[in-house]
Amino acid sequence: MMSNRVGLPKLFKYFFGLSVLATLCIAEVSAPALRSFEGVEPHMGTLVRIQLYAGDAGSAESAFRAAFDRISQLDGALSDYKPDSELNRLSQSAVNRPVKVSEDLFHVLETAQSVAVRTDGAFDVTLGPLTHLWREARKQGHVPEARALRQAASHCGYRKLHLDRANRTVLLDEAAMQLDLGGIAKGYAADEALAVLKKTGYRSALVAASGDLAFSDPPPGRRGWGIGIDSLDAAGQPFTSTLTIANAAVSTSGDSEQHLDYRDKRYSHIIDPRTGMGLTNGLTVTVVAPTGIESDANSTAASVLGCKLGLAFIENQPRLAALFVERTIGRSHLLESTRFHKIGDMN
């Protein structure tokens, strides 16, 4: 019996931020032939970590290579930071004419639009003009001008993005539209990295891309992957709640990583499409779903909806569970959806 314990404290500090910290551990690996290996590479503007079980370092290395190559390929298609990405070329070329896109890009846009419809536009990948304005504002250290916000908002709106599944084409209603998949692409990339690993025989793995984690089968001899979510209770005391999951994904959205502090307010990098403003609700939302693309998009969406509407939305979606942590000075208020602690193997 080999004992193996792997901690990813930096990662969790990274994605759960101030009020929610988590650690991941695996203990007592029972299959002696398999060892846990971890690979880390920078992709999609963050460090992506992959953990898997393999017989030796050489085979783990080639598995990491294949998985990271797939993530890199997806970044090339879905990034709005890379000027020549498929996404950015689409934003330029699809104005008033249908443009054929890759299956990856179509699938992500299709999923995004379905979350947009179900959340009445709280999730909206056409917010590029606003998210770019806020990116600049974070660099400059002040909130964008009202006129610039109005102007950017006038080029946004998920109803201006049209998809044709039969021809796999995309059409945009206006020039100056800009698509931004920052709220959904990492989750999809995590799913696809797991799929590559599965195809080459690595069925027990985890992929962590910033706040988006996807898990396949449990580690050998285990019931699932343990995730500890450290938080503060109503009295401001630390406590840990744990989940054991497999074949599922967990995403956390909030303002801990990217934000602008301006005149006593913290503006998140997540934009409320109704106002064009960065969220100031101090929420951190963790969503569990069968796939990363779903957990990623829906954690961003639930952050915009806020505690009350967000929780009602999650309860209505049988594939989703969520934990909402609302931060106020010195303490946190926690709300869990009814399925949050009943989650196990979701596929």
- Taking the C-alpha atoms of residue 189 and residue 174, their distance in angstroms, rounded to an integer, is 29
Q: How many beta carbons lie within 10 A of that of residue 154, not counting itself?
A: 12
| Residue 230 main-chain phi, psi, to 5 deg | -85, 135
DSSP state of 2: B
DSSP H or E run through 186: helix 185-199
Q: How many beta carbons lie within 10 A of that of residue 248, not counting itself?
A: 26
| Minimum distance, C-beta of residue 274 to ligand AMP, in the bound complex (Å) | 9
From 289, 283, 276, 337, select the one nearest 306 (Cα to Cα).
Answer: 283
Tell me: does residue 300 bind Mg ion (CB under 5 A). yes
Q: Which residues contact 300 (CB under 8 A, 6 or more apart)?
A: 123, 183, 184, 253, 270
Instruction: Return the residues of window 294-313 that contact ligand AMP according to CB under 6 A.
Output: 296, 299-300, 304
Give residue number: closest CB to Mg ion: 300
Residues 152-191, one symbol each (x = binds Mg ion by CB under 5 A, - = not), give: -------------------------------x--------
Stretch of 67-75, 125-133, 213-221, 224-232 lying at the interface with ligand AMP (CB under 6 A): 125-133
Of 63 and 156, nearer to ligand AMP (C-beta) is 156
Instruction: Return the residues of window 129-188 that contact ligand AMP according to CB under 6 A.
Output: 131, 180, 182-183
Stretch of 42-50, 52-60, 171-179, 292-300 lying at the interface with ligand AMP (CB under 6 A): 292-300
Of 36 and 126, nearer to ligand AMP (C-beta) is 126
Contacted by 269, from Mg ion, ligand AMP, none: CB < 5 to 8 Å by type: ligand AMP
DSSP per-residue codes, 41-57: EEETTEEEEEEEEESSH
Tell me: does residue 85 bind ligand AMP (CB under 6 A). no
Among 86, 124, 217, 294, binds ligand AMP (CB under 6 A): 124
Contact 134, 108 (CB under 8 A): no
| Minimum distance, C-beta of residue 333 to ligand AMP, in the bound complex (Å) | 20
> Which amino acid would we find at residue 287?
V
Residues that bind Mg ion (CB under 5 A): 183, 296, 300
